[in-house]
Amino acid sequence: MSDVAPILVAGQWRESKSGDTFRAENPVTQEPLPGAYPVSSWEDCDAALTAAAEAADQLLEVSPKRLQKFLLRLADLMEENRAAIGQLAHQESGLPEKRLAGREMERTTDQIRQAADAAADRSWKQISIETKRDLRSLFAAIGPVAIFSPNNFPLSWNTISGSDFASAVAAGNPVIAIANSSAPGTTKVLAELALQAAQEADLPSGTVQLLYRLNHADGERLVADARIGATAFTGSTAAGLALKGAADAAGKPIYVALSSVNPIVFLPNAIREQGEELINRYGNVCLKGTGQFCTQPGLAIVIDGEESRGMIAAIKAKFDESTPGTLGSKKTLDNLVEKLETLKQAGAKVISDESKPKGEGYSHPNTLLQVSGANFLQQPAELQTEAFGNEAMFVVCQDVAEAKAVIDALHGQLAGCIYSSTDGADAEAYAVLAPRLRRKVGRFMDDKMPNGMPVSIGMGHGGPFPVSGHPGFTSVGIPNAMRRFALLQSYDQTRHDHLPEELRNKNPSGQLWRNIDGEWTTGDVAEG
């Protein structure tokens, strides 16, 4: 089948051993895009795993400077090809071409360059040396990393260019990338650039490999394979938990980022003080990008009263007046419809105008729901279902005590926020609610919408289960994100010439930060 794209295994583009294929669609026109892509068989997976295991051994001899060279070159190549990448990603996602070739490209290359610098710096290894006990430790590469990505950020979360990819490679690991089925062409182009950069940096042939899609059984088998070091998955709860179950059963680390409704609390005096501004902010954030952000604040908690009723009416009008955008795929649309039905069956009422016309392509009317706090507490699991897309729901509580109970009933979330008045009139309610919400979310904010996530060392993108499988880790923010793909290695009275150079008495670069006998220093270990 000449129009079937090849897979990338062991540094070579080769024909898949599988005969099953799929095609990407343009979500605006709802028409198939040119070319077919293989649904890989286990034979493809096995070949990629073998090549990755060989590359993992070879990468032990690769200097951090070569990893840095690879990542910097990949970032440069992406920017040199930004127009073509942006156009293809637009065709596959329906997202604005200007956003993809502009802000998202810049975010993506920025995080790749941060990872490159962290690889060369090596301080991410958290080196510790105890001279009296002759104990030394550091974080080191864990082995082949499998990466599954979402479709809402075709570049900055792509399996070949996103934070998971950059973090894994910077930590010294080879990557087996499984493309999102909505962005196979974009991912193939990125893989071509990554292969060129890897060859220029003289990296092992299996450092970067690409498969386009796996069936469920082979995906679960892949993440549990003895040759895998760790897996990163961002996407639906059902798929993520299935992979997590398989990896956990095999004792393999897996970092999942799943559904989140990102609760936001609007206290009465904040609405009174900032009403119009809050209405504009919240309405815009919920509908931006057709609501396809993992940090979209889809659950708003308010106290019943004149202020909250006015806010809900104004948000309803904003939803009704705004033209719905295009969703990323038919699967996204079908999922939105299904999850909205779950919310309605649990007692949520649609208060927006469902008769309004849809937008272009795979689209759904902007949908605003409302439910009482008492109803929410009767079915909290169903009523915090993430309906990924242009949807939001108000939970209207009778008082602060009921709002506290609603927050207590939430499962883990990526982000959460409380808006309170600046004059202190909401201080008592804030003091009750903030500690409860703080324990439920990975990132906590005052007076700020959760959309917008700077790529920086202080950023945390994770949270309590089930939004994340490991609440102590983040998938955004270099170098912290790199430690997901690392193994803590301890050396106990190991002969000096057998130690990694980072643990030897002389600081290998003269600038590497190491903890020597409880003090962080760039100096050498005193001998004698």
Task: For 205, list phi and psi in degrees, rounded to 5.
Answer: -65, -25
**pLDDT reported for residue 528:** 63
Whether 297 contacts 262, CB under 8 Å: yes
* Residues 271/278, Cβ–Cβ less than 8 Å: yes
Q: Which residue has the tokens 């065709």?
A: 91
Between the alpha carbon of residue 131 and those of residues 164, 447, 515, the distances in Å are 35, 48, 11
Where do the structural domains in the chain lie, given as residue ranges? 264-446
pTM of the model: 0.93
Is there a contact between 175 and 145 (Cβ–Cβ < 8 Å)? yes
pLDDT of residue 476: 83
Nearest to 342 by CA among 283, 388, 409, 279: 388
Query: Residues for the chain: how many in total?
Result: 528
**Helix and strand element counts for the chain (H, E):** 16, 23
Cα(43)–Cα(510) distance, integer angstroms: 47
Residue with tokens 């796996």: 214
Q: Would you state the pLDDT for residue 235?
A: 86
What's the CA gap between 330 and 341, in Å, rounded?
17
Q: Give every residue of the chain whose pLDDT is below 70, as ranges.
A: 1-2, 528
Buried b / exposed e over 95-116, threshold 16 CB at 10 Å, is bebebbbeebbebbbbbbbbbb
Would you identify the CATH topology of the domain 264-446? Aldehyde Dehydrogenase; Chain A, domain 2 (3.40.309)
CA 392 to CA 20: how far, in whole Å?
Answer: 38
Q: Which two tokens stand for residue 202?
A: 């003289």
pLDDT at 98: 94
Residues 518 and 57: their CA atoms lie apart, in Å, by: 32
What is the chain's percent helix, strand, coil content, to nearest 5?
A: 40, 20, 40
| C-alpha to C-alpha distances, 87 to 13, 94, 252, 318, 486, nearest whole angstrom | 23, 10, 38, 31, 36
